[in-house]
Amino acid sequence: MFCRTLRLSTQLRAISPDNLLKLSESQLRECELSRQKINYLQNIASVFIDGFLTPEQ
């Protein structure tokens, strides 16, 4: 898991919903994320950007 997080943080530079959505599926797959995990992360990022979820929730 640490390896995945390190690869992902290297791709993103700063972890944020906007930066996550800028990455392609192939870039996220290079971080050893499954398609299902990519889908979860993209959906959560979209919900944050749309304002339906905040860090405090």
pLDDT digits (tens, 9 = 90+) for 14-27: 778 998 899 899 88
Give the whole-angstrom CA distance, residue 38 versus residue 8.
Answer: 11
Q: What is the pLDDT of residues 27-44, one digit of tens each?
A: 888 888 899 999 999 999
Give the whole-angstrom CA distance, residue 53 versus residue 29.
Answer: 25
Show the domain range for 30.
Answer: 2-49
- Is the residue at 6 inside a domain? yes
| Entry pTM | 0.76
- Is the residue at 16 inside a domain? yes
- Is the residue at 57 inside a domain? no
Q: List, as one string, the DSSP characters of the chain.
A: -HHHHHHHHHHHSS--HHHHHHS-HHHHHHTT--HHHHHHHHHHHHHHHTTS--TT-
- Is the residue at 29 inside a domain? yes
- Is the residue at 54 inside a domain? no
- Is the residue at 55 inside a domain? no
Indicate the pLDDT class of residue 57, thresholds 50, 70 and 90.
Answer: confident
**In the structure encoding, which two tokens stand for residue 3, read together?**
């390896």
Number of domains in the chain: 1
